[in-house]
Amino acid sequence: MTHPQSEHWSDYIDGELPLAEARELETHLEVCGECRRLLNELRGVVARAGALEDRPPRADLWPRVSAQIGVSRRRFVFSMPELLAAGIALMLISGGGVAFLLRDEIGAPVAWIRPEPEPVVRTVATGGGYDAAIGQLQRELAKGRGSLDSSTTRVIEEKLALIDQAILDAERAVAADPGSEYLRAHLTRSRLTKLDLLRRATELTRTIS
């Protein structure tokens, strides 16, 4: 009996064969025990590969990793186009919401230094770490804002106002429908976008000053 080339059985398992060829192989299988056995063995290998257990390294690598990342400080490469790109992402997330600027009594924009509003809901994913990071970035940004020109400042403020509104909307939506995974993911994305924007804006003040 002529058997198909053994490689075809791998292709067959992986669904890489045109239908007609697959049918031919199946016809052959009906009459050939040898190829049936080979096919089963190959399937066994594939199944075994998919069921491999992961195991940790012999020793915890974190002490060595942390020692190394402690000495190699990351540098952000950061540009206005990137900031604007982040702004475009924000526009999308806000769903075309209207931009507004928060101003204090003398009319100076304060969007990024006002205290965080108490969130309506808080997903577990954004716990104290998130709030602390937002707070720290906002303080840093408030300190460094003098180094930015006024048009940059305005762009950042507009974007922050948009994202804050988006976060508030998302929080309300989640509060109304706490079971919705989509809404929760949307809220997380909105919060991450704020974190990202603040991070970039802060980097910008560091780069300039």
Partner 1 sequence: MKHEDRSEPPSEVGARGGFQPSSGIGSPKPRMPTTATRGAPAQKPGAHDPNETDAVDAALAASGDAHAFERLYRRHINRVHSLVRRMMGEEAEEVTQEVLVHAWQKIGTYRGEAAFGTWLHRVAVNLVLSRRAGRRRWRDRFAENDAEAMELPSKSTVHLAGLDFESAIAALPARARQVFVLHDVEGYRHEEIATMLGVTAGTSKSQLHYARMALRETLG
Cα 71 to the center of its chain, rounded Å:
26
Q: Is 128 in the site for partner 1 (CB under 8 A)?
A: no
**Of 25, 29, 120, 195, which one interacts with partner 1 (CB under 8 A)?**
195
Q: Which residues on neighbouring strands pair with residue 109, listed in sequence order?
A: 103
- Kindly calculate the radius of gyration of the chain based on its CA atoms and give it in whole angstroms: 28
- Dist CA 124 CA 144 (whole Å): 31
Please, what is the minimum distance in Å from the beta carbon of residue 32 to partner 1?
Answer: 17
* From the list partner 1, Zn ion, none, partner contacted by residue 46 (C-beta under 5 to 8 A by kind): partner 1
Supply the DSSP symbol for 145. G
Q: Is 35 in the site for Zn ion (CB under 5 A)?
A: yes
Q: What is the dihedral of CA 42, 48, 50, 51, to 10 degrees?
A: 160
Q: Is 3 in the site for Zn ion (CB under 5 A)?
A: yes
**Of 34, 129, 150, 151, which one interacts with partner 1 (CB under 8 A)?**
129
Q: Is 184 in the site for partner 1 (CB under 8 A)?
A: yes
Per the CB < 8 A criterion, the answer to whether 144 and 205 are in contact is yes
Amino acid (1-letter code) at residue 151: S
Please, what is the minimum distance in Å from the beta carbon of residue 138 to partner 1?
Answer: 12
Residues 47-106 binding partner 1 (CB under 8 A) are 48-50, 52, 54-59, 61-62, 64-66, 68-70, 72, 74, 76
Per the CB < 8 A criterion, the answer to whether 194 and 164 are in contact is yes
Write out 164-180 in H/E/C secondary structure: HHHHHHHHHHHHHCCCC
Amino acid (1-letter code) at residue 110: V
- Dist CA 55 CA 60 (whole Å): 12
Nearest to Zn ion of 35, 183 (CB atom)? 35
Name the one range near partner 1 by CB under 8 A: 18-26, 46-54, 91-99, 145-153: 46-54
Q: Which residues on neighbouring strands pair with residue 103, listed in sequence order?
A: 109
Nearest to Zn ion of 25, 168 (CB atom)? 25
Interacting residues with partner 1 (CB under 8 A): 6-7, 10-11, 16, 41-42, 44-46, 48-50, 52, 54-59, 61-62, 64-66, 68-70, 72, 74, 76, 123-126, 129-130, 133, 137, 178-179, 181, 184-185, 188-189, 191-192, 195-196, 199
Interacting residues with Zn ion (CB under 5 A): 3, 32, 34-35
